[in-house]
Structure 1
Amino acid sequence: MFQPVDHQKTAAAVVEQIEDLILKGVLQSGDKLPAERDLAEQLAVSRPVLRDALKILEDRKLIEARRGGGTFVADLIGPIFSEAIVQLIARHPTAVNDYFEFRRGIESQAAAQAAGRAAPSDIARLDEIIREMQAAHDSADLAAESRLDVAFHHAVGEAAHNVVMLHTLRSCYRLLENGVFYNRGRLYDHPTARIELLQQHKAIADAIRQADPDRARKASEDHIDYVRGTLDDTREMDRREQLAGLRRLKKPKTPART
């Protein structure tokens, strides 16, 4: 990951390389940097130069030193919304439609760009996730399916090679992981959701693999439309079940005497 600093072996050159790795998403929030000795050797700089560089990065709040634990990339995924807005959304489920509208636009754009820009390693990562998805589906491992779903969309965002889009999507998916907009487990309650979602992810990956931006965009849009529609169906089933339960609890009236 880290390359020797070929030109001026200054702290600024080291800072530039590490910042570039963070900006492009190679180094992510929570990643631990190599030990000082190892990192200095990989960068081919002296340890005093490295210490100066790390101090600059820490002052810029890009890395953080943990006492006795090493140096880590700081939590760089800021919230899209303030906590007050998150709580407001939670109290007003109609905002979920706006969330899906936003995701439909940005994810379809990411998929289309990935189809035109994905590097071989990006394709390999998508293929790896698809294989893991298939295995999780076959073993009915719902927790793994949920985790891999988010990982897949992260990988598509990375394959788009647009740093602004990448960090926006990462912030968006943190809300998804935290269940702010909907409970992903409820999606799997639908009888055909798991197999449909697997096939949709395969369709997106295949379009990216075939370098077909239009098909990738359409596959991504179809995926979001399906998730939104299926959650609507699930909520309607919940409403009907609740109503049916109330009817069962209601005591029958005593027939009037004649």
Structure 2
Amino acid sequence: MSADLFHRVNHARTADEVCAQIEALVLEGVLRVGDKLPGERDLAHQFNISRPIVREALKNLEERGLLCTRHGGGTFIADVIGDVFSKTMLELIADHPKATDDYLEYRREVEAIAAEMAARRATDDDKALLTSIMTRMEAAHGKEDIADEAALDVEFHQAVSEAAHNVILMHTLRSCYRLLTNGSFFSRSLVYGYPGARDQLLGQHRAVFEAIMAGDGPAARRAAQAHIEFVEQCKRDAERAKAWQTVSRLRRAHRSAV
């Protein structure tokens, strides 16, 4: 964690200001779920306050559910996002394909907004992060490292939502991406396994990236929508091919038995 993440606080309101700094960093997505905070001694040094005051602030944040401690392991940002759906609802969604269609429809519209905002609002640091992710994505693509490429896919979308500088939008999309990474109801292998899909996905990500770098909001919106529309088409084609295979297998089995 960066040593200059925190700054010295006003000694008149020490514990409150420590809490306020950490809260703001979580809200803005700088500190993310699972991030480990520096040790008590380091925090006291960065804030330029005593360790008892740091301890008081951390206890306050833990009681409110913002931090969690692991015995002998340190203090971490708690899961403040949580799961969007309960286990029961996820099981219902998994059994009803329409829910996946609705999920992609939602992402198509919201990510288009995020991309357009990012094109207007991205700072130099946002652009540097997106450039780094894009470079790593292209390297993974060249090595045909599908697992790394898929992970960077999610990281890219998260970085775009962060560059939009709207905390509600960012945290809402993070919840959506969590459903992707844990494979709750939509397997990305359907898309990455589609013939020629990897090349097209890389090109689509680059189109979003270039529009944001150019500050072209309408182009970023169109590129983001086109990307999700492609994912939707891949899903439909994969499901249709699977249905064909099921019917073909039944025909063959039936005729072999006659």
Flag whether TM exceeds 0.5 (same fold): yes
Please say if 1:54 is aligned against 2:66: no
Q: Aligned partners of 2:256 and 2:83: how far apart in 1? A: 52
One-letter identity of the residue aligned with 1:227: V
**Aligned-residue CA RMSD in angstroms?**
1.4
SS in structure 2 of the partner of residue 250 of structure 1 = helix
% of aligned pairs identical? Answer: 50
1:146 to 145, 150, 157: 150
Please say if 1:89 is aligned against 2:93: yes
Q: Is the 8 A contact 2:10 2:17 kept in 1?
A: no
Q: Aligned partners of 2:9 and 2:94: how far apart in 1? A: 49
Q: Aligned partners of 2:243 and 2:61: how far apart in 1? A: 52
One-letter identity of the residue aligned with 2:121: R
- Measured after TM superposition, the shift of residue 237 of structure 1 is 1.1
Q: Aligned partners of 2:161 and 2:83: how far apart in 1? A: 18
Q: Aligned partners of 1:252 and 1:29: how far apart in 2? A: 55
Please say if 1:163 is aligned against 2:167: yes
- Measured after TM superposition, the shift of residue 221 of structure 1 is 0.4
Give the gaps of 5 or more residues in structure 2.
none
Q: Which residue of 2 aligns with 1:117?
A: 121
1:218-238 deviation line (CA, Å, top 9, x unaligned): 100000100001110111111
Q: Aligned partners of 1:250 and 1:90: how far apart in 2? A: 30
One-letter identity of the residue aligned with 2:84: I
1:14-33 correspondence to structure 2 within 5 Å: 14-33=18-37
User: How many aligned positions are there?
Assistant: 254
- Measured after TM superposition, the shift of residue 252 of structure 1 is 4.9
1:194-251 deviation line (CA, Å, top 9, x unaligned): 0000000000011010011111011000001000011101111111122222222233
2:140 to 123, 136, 142: 136
Q: Which residue of 2 aligns with 1:226?
A: 230
SS in structure 2 of the partner of residue 96 of structure 1 = helix
Which has the higher mean CA deviation after the structures are superposed, 107-116 or 92-101? 92-101
- Measured after TM superposition, the shift of residue 129 of structure 1 is 1.0
Give the gaps of 5 or more residues in structure 1.
none
- Measured after TM superposition, the shift of residue 10 of structure 1 is 1.4
1:96-117 deviation line (CA, Å, top 9, x unaligned): 1111111111111111110111
Q: Which residue of 2 aligns with 1:69?
A: 73
Q: Aligned partners of 1:117 and 1:231: how far apart in 2? A: 32
Q: Aligned partners of 1:162 and 1:253: how far apart in 2? A: 62
Q: Which residue of 2 aligns with 1:100?
A: 104
Q: Which residue of 2 aligns with 1:201?
A: 205
Q: Aligned partners of 1:36 and 1:252: how far apart in 2? A: 72
- Measured after TM superposition, the shift of residue 253 of structure 1 is 7.9
Q: Aligned partners of 1:167 and 1:55: how far apart in 2? A: 25
One-letter identity of the residue aligned with 1:219: A
Please say if 1:241 is aligned against 2:245: yes
1:147-174 deviation line (CA, Å, top 9, x unaligned): 0111111101110111111111111110
CA pair 252-74 structure 1, distance change in 2 beyond 3 A = closer
What is the TM-score normalised by the length of structure 1? 0.95
SS in structure 1 of the partner of residue 97 of structure 2 = coil
- Measured after TM superposition, the shift of residue 83 of structure 1 is 2.1
One-letter identity of the residue aligned with 2:219: R
1:5 to 9, 14, 18: 9
Q: Aligned partners of 1:211 and 1:104: how far apart in 2? A: 20
Q: Aligned partners of 2:243 and 2:80: how far apart in 1? A: 40
